[in-house]
Chain A
Amino acid sequence: MNSSIIGLFLFYIFVMAIFVGFEVISKVPVILHTPLMSGTNAIHGIILIGGILILASANNLLSFICGFIAVVFGSINVFGGFMVTHRMLQMFKRKKR
């Protein structure tokens, strides 16, 4: 496959994901807005993959420094994001009767 076809294929995915993102949260009640914001916040921690790939092939000082910071940041985003969401949601247990 040539590169413009691959590009177009990635763009298809991008456009479909936009619609899925809209649809999937359109019925979220107001009470879950904060956990939802926090939960989606954790998902963009997937930038950690980008950071790891960059740091793995770093070969000069600038890319070592920036890559290292990017991995630390991405890792904070992933672990902190999921943990804080989990902690919030633990409080939504129904009252035991």
Chain B
Amino acid sequence: MNLIIGILYLIAAVLFILGMKLLSSPETARLGNILSSIGMFIAIVSTIPLLPGITNKSIFQQHLINYILIIIAILIGLIVGVFGAYAVKMTAIPQMVAIFNGVGGGAAALVSAIEFFTHSSNPQTISYFFVITTLFASLVGAVSFTGSVIAFSKLQGLIDKPVTYSLQKIVNAIIMFGIILLGLLTIFSDSHIIFGWFFIISLVFGILMTLPIGGADMPVVIALLNSFTGLAVAVDGFTIHNIAMIIGGTLVGSSGTLLTLLMCKAMNRSITNVLFGAFGKITSSDSSGGTTGDKTIKSITSDEVAIMLAYAQLVIIVPGYGLAVAQAQHQVRELENELEKRNIEVKYAIHPVAGRMPGHMNVLLAEANVPYDHLYEMEQINPEFQRADVVLVIGANDVVNPAAKNNPGSPIYGMPILNVQQAKQVIVLKRSMNPGFSGIENELFYNENTRMLFGDAKDSVSKLINELKKVK
């Protein structure tokens, strides 16, 4: 590698780091993303001198078909990527991130596989280090690819339940054993066929690993697979001696690991519990607490809610994924305006895992121009609920479920929740009495100070606005 490429790679690396750093604040986040993309542009363009035949016309002509294919492939990726990024609805962002991550993992796995096939027959270039790194990057990249595809299918609703079956643990153990065995055989034989089987079984392992995990845990899985892809890319960087890939991949690998741990912390679960706990399995047997059957729910109409709101001083809105599905964020924003006109204080309580990913709800509300200084994180808002006159729970469920505090049998036991029940009045806007994404019954709905406002969130909030305008 020559000096100029080295310096350009260094500039790219600095831009990546600065970009990630600037993403720490809403004011500078956009600049951060632009800096990272400039870094990416520099890194890719400065790779051109490394290509075969760039300075030699006859060698270049031998590789002409390769270069045409590279340009076509980049253009296909450009069209698909840009189209995907612009066509996606804001509610479907987590799926999109999953699929962009998956293709990165797939690319990393393919690069290491071709490296192995090209160099393993040459005793001059092959070493144990080389074989182990290509095996590792293939495994991690392949798991990230198929795992992300499954995560996408789950979030998109193509697979709607955690898939569990008897002997699951044994099957997974056999697959893991098979991966280790085939890996060792490849190291000692350098056989292309065994490597091929290793690659296929790695793909299968990604599917089997992700299938039993419930949809509510998918954000953690995506964050983990994101760091997997980063790691695979970094290891590929070792195999083909590319510093830009090592730095870029490692930055994502380590920051992704930290992000995964932060998300688990927000849900008060350990990473092993998420990956191997088979979340959905417990919910089917015993989670309702068994006592909800004899309690009654109290429903309410929108004009009554409007009067309550009109005489409140502090209203706290708890948005959940249901709000996003109903596309009600603009109506909620309008309701906020209407309340603020009457000098009623409005705050939003954002649970760390509201929506489908940490921060997802903030993006959705930002889309509706809700100023982000009205959004409060759980620790900030929890002491305020006792002061609140009305709490509007819009399409949220598990994040306000008291079972997380007082029912040790519940699968979400231990998850920190928003203490909405401390407010004077809780209004739950909900489509029906169906349990939430994790399939758990919610005792909050049966509370003394809870009223249910049934219907589509968008319609309900629109009606509330109209009724509120009538209240003098």
Which A residues fall within an 8 A CB radius of B?
A: 6-7, 10, 13-14, 17-22, 24-58, 62-64, 66-95
Contacts and interface: CB of A to CB of B under 8 A. Distances in A.
A90 B106 CA distance: 29
Given A20-B251, A56-B66, A92-B29, A78 B81 contact: yes
Contacts of B114: 54, 58, 62-63, 66-67, 70
Contacts of B37: 42, 82, 86
Contacts of A41: 97, 100-101, 104, 226, 229, 252
Q: Which 4 A-B pairs rank lowest in CB-CB distance, beginning with the nearest?
A: A75-B77, A80-B81, A21-B254, A79-B81
A80 B80 contact: yes
B242 A83 contact: no
Given A44-B248, A50-B236, A25 B103 contact: no
Interface in B86-100: 86, 88, 90, 93-94, 96-97, 100
A40 B359 contact: no
B363 A34 contact: yes
B244 A49 contact: yes
B74 A92 contact: no
Most buried by B among A19, A38, A68, A73: A73
Interface residues of B, number: 111
B40 A34 contact: no
B245 A49 contact: yes
Most buried by A among B74, B104, B362: B104
A3 to B, nearest CB: 9
Given A10-B246, A43-B16, A52 B70 contact: yes
22 contacts: A20-B17, A29-B377, A30-B266, A32-B25, A33-B262, A33-B359, A34-B359, A37-B256, A43-B19, A44-B101, A46-B249, A47-B111, A48-B74, A49-B44, A50-B107, A50-B111, A76-B84, A81-B81, A86-B30, A86-B33, A86-B34, A92-B30
Nearest to B375: A31
Contact of B362 (A13, A31, A87): A31
Nearest to A58: B66
Interface in B45-96: 47, 50-52, 63, 66-67, 69-70, 73-78, 80-82, 84-86, 88, 90, 93-94, 96
Contact of B78 (A17, A53, A75): A75
A14 B115 CA distance: 20
Interface in B267-314: none
B360 A34 contact: yes
A89 B252 contact: no
Instruction: Decide if the interface of chain A is mainly helix, strand, loop or mixed.
Output: helix
A75 B236 contact: no
Contact of B111 (A31, A62, A70, A91): A70
A74 B63 CA distance: 21
Nearest to B355: A34
A23 B294 CA distance: 52
Given A32-B24, A78-B44, A88-B363, 8 more contacts: A30-B358, A36-B259, A46-B44, A47-B249, A55-B73, A70-B106, A74-B103, A84-B84
A69 B359 contact: no
B241 interface: yes
Contact of B26 (A14, A18, A77, A92): A92
Given A32-B359, A52-B47, A76-B100, A40 B236 contact: no
A33 B260 CA distance: 10
Contacts of B237: 10, 50
Contacts of A22: 254-255, 257-258
Contact of B88 (A39, A53, A66, A84): A84
B256 to A, nearest CB: 6
A36 to B, nearest CB: 5
B20 interface: yes
Contacts of A92: 26, 29-30, 362-363, 366, 372
Contacts of A44: 101, 104, 108, 226, 229-230, 233, 248-249, 252
